[in-house]
Amino acid sequence: MKKDLKYLITFGLLIFAIFILVGCDGKRQEKELSVTKQTITLQIREEEIIALTIKPEDAVIAVEVDKTDIISAILTEANLKINALKNGDAKVILKHPDEEVDDVVIEVTVKDTTKPVISGVSDANVMVGVEYTVVKATVTDNIDTNLTATYTVKDPDGATVKVVNDKFTCNKVGVYRITYKAEDKSGNKANDLVIEVTVKDEVKPVISGVSDANVMVGVEYTVVKATVTDNIDTNLTATYTVKDPNGATVEVVNDKFTCNKVGVYRITYKAEDKSGNKADDLVIEVTVKDEIAPIITASIESGSLVAQGDMIGFTFEDNYTIVTAIIHEISLLLNGESVIVEGLSYQFLEFGTYEFTVTAQDEALNKTTQTYKYYLMDEKEMCYFESEINMPAADGLHQELNYNLDYVSEGKSSLKATVAKGQEGWPGLNFDSTYFEKAFNKTTIDLTQYFNLSMQVYNASSDVLALTILLKDVEGKKFEGATVYIESQSWGEIRINPNDIDINGIDKTQIDQIRFFLTCANHPQLEAEDLIFYVDTVQLSKESVYMDFDGKGSLHKIKPIFENQGALMELIDAETLDRSRRVLKYSHKVGPSELIAFTYALNAGWADKLLSFRDLEGYSKLEFDVYATAPGFNISFRIIYSDWTKHWSPNYWPNANQWGTYSIDISTLDQTKLKNIRGIEFYINYAGDNTTERQVIYFDNFRLVK
């Protein structure tokens, strides 16, 4: 009963409300919902306000938006405010509370049609050849942010330029055009922005490659072509004009002109690039001098043997002075006595030594003096020399046996001697007073002025040979040195220092015979085979002595100190290393920083000594040539004195794959110790990369220099 009463009360209140809405007077109110626009188009972020007509005025209008991501709509009193959010189509639906009033639908189109704007870049001027950095443009838009502009670059010829990391090289003179483009997210394209990069060339070319010169008068001078370098243009050439010492223009044909005046010729070079930039003139001076002395020519080569009745004549020529203007003088010593020479020729009539001194002087006071020596032998002397065999390094081969002689190549030219089987004797080289007269213009020589006397022999036979040196003075006293034994099919060398204290009993200041001979008497194999040997490298030295690594005979004097490190030594032909002779090849199998070495025992071979002495007093340098096949080598050596004290040299680091010279000043060392030394040890340290391959270094021309 109470529940039914509750329903009756609610229903009564509802009827009352309707009554209030309809009007107390019982009349029906007017109802309406309308808008001023039902179709609108907006830009993004644009706002549109539409007026509404609402009846009754207090009616509550419902607002619905079908696509809230595109637009938003807010009703304020009788105005509807619509905001555009993004591109697209959407609807706003207005509903009257009275269902009898039709809904109002407003169709909204949101569209962005505003172009972005490109800015922030401007024209530029640069020099040709520079690397230009493209400036990034600024793009502003009504809606979008972080927009970027793209660009293309055209060179002055209209070709597209490749740009890497916003950079390109301005290698053409003219105007480069950079076109910027941009587009917003709505597809609105900005107006293109074009800037111009004007490229100029204001750099002068440079002339180089020519320099002053000094020439002799009368020569034909070739004008050197100058080099013209430019920052842009290539293959530019320089023109030139030539002025003589008097300022007159010289005619040049095929880049040549004759310097027929003493003084300074000036050559002015000019050049211009394709942009019209002119190089600074380059002027060089060709100084023309007459410093050439006259040339004297003898009709017979100096040092020749002449025959009785031969006629010698002298002629003169000069580069500038005519022959008749050359002043000359000829003097003659015949066997040491002065003889008058009339005219420009002389006839050899008397036996003996002729020494002509000829002087010639040109108009510029340039003077030449030449000495010419000749020897006229009697018939007896001629017969003696005709029996001799001439050699490159010595002049006589003593013939006690029947020889067949020939020059052959054994790494270098050598003299081959063949002794027919069944003979006995002492074959060898003989130098006597007749040879000394021809070679030194005196019948004896002073061996104390020398420190090296040596010869090398190759034994091509099957038995051991013995090589000996014999010295004889004017009184007939003789000294016979120790014997060096030469193994079959190998080189041997005999070498003495004439000042060695072991060489005594003779007057070494008056030696009239030096003889190298091989003992072959009772040679076991001579009955069955010929004795064949090669003679090479006879040395008598006082200025510079080569310790014969380029020959063959010294190898028996050299030995590795650290043989357990796999050292390998050999003499090899070295044509591939630009050496025409043999060199010493030293290789090893050690790692970095390990020491290898070899020793050179001076004057080895004396029977009563392990090591003999050499006198180095008075010599300024010890030198040798080195060729390393890899970087990392350094070399030093030590001199072993007679008291077994030692002197270490500084380290030498040879460059790889080229010849270099290791030169050490020994003039400052203790000269009393240098007078007697036992030997020289060479140390090679390898600090390069460790490898299983042999490290190789070559040595050549070990020498002592005054």
pLDDT at 632: 78
Two tokens at 43? 């830009």
The per-residue pLDDT for range 621-658, each reduced to its tens digit, is: 888 888 888 887 788 877 878 777 888 888 888 888 89
Answer whether residue 231 shows pLDDT above 60.
Answer: yes
pLDDT band at 544 (very low <50, low <70, confident <90, very high): very low
pLDDT band at 153 (very low <50, low <70, confident <90, very high): very high
SS3 245: coil
pLDDT of residue 542: 56
Give the closest residue to 447 by CA, choosing from 378, 532, 514, 362. Answer: 514
Answer whether 0.85 is exceeded by the pTM. no
Domains (range + CATH), the chain = 32-110 (2.60.40.1080), 117-200 (2.60.40.10), 206-289 (2.60.40.10), 295-380 (2.60.40.1080), 396-542 (2.60.120.260), 555-705 (2.60.120.260)
* Mean pLDDT of the region 386-401: 30
Q: Reply yes or no: is the peptide bond before residue 56 cis, omega within 30 of 0.
A: yes
* For the ranges 203-207, 482-486, 663-667, the one whose mean pLDDT is highest: 203-207
Instruction: Say how far apart CA 347 and CA 312 lie, in whole Å.
Output: 6
CA distance 493 to 454: 7
Between the alpha carbon of residue 144 and those of residues 42, 44, 112, 140, the distances in Å are 16, 10, 10, 8
Interhelix angle 433-440/379-386, nearest 10 degrees: 100
- Tell me which of 445 and 536 has the higher pLDDT: 445
For 185-214, the pLDDT digits (tens) are 888 999 999 999 999 888 899 999 999 999
Which uninterrupted H or E stretch holds 469?
strand 465-473
pLDDT at res. 210: 94
Residue 295's contacts (CB-CB under 8 Å, 6 or more residues apart) are: 316, 317, 318, 360, 368
CA distance 326 to 368: 11
Of 64-68, 352-356, 436-440, 560-564, the poorest mean pLDDT is in 560-564
User: In the predicted model, is pLDDT for residue 672 greater than 90?
Assistant: no
Mean pLDDT check: name the lowest of 151-160, 162-171, 260-269, 421-430.
421-430
575-584 pLDDT, tens digit each: 677 765 567 7
Q: Residue 611 is encoded by which pair of tokens?
A: 């090591």
Residue of higher predicted confidence among 389 and 457? 457
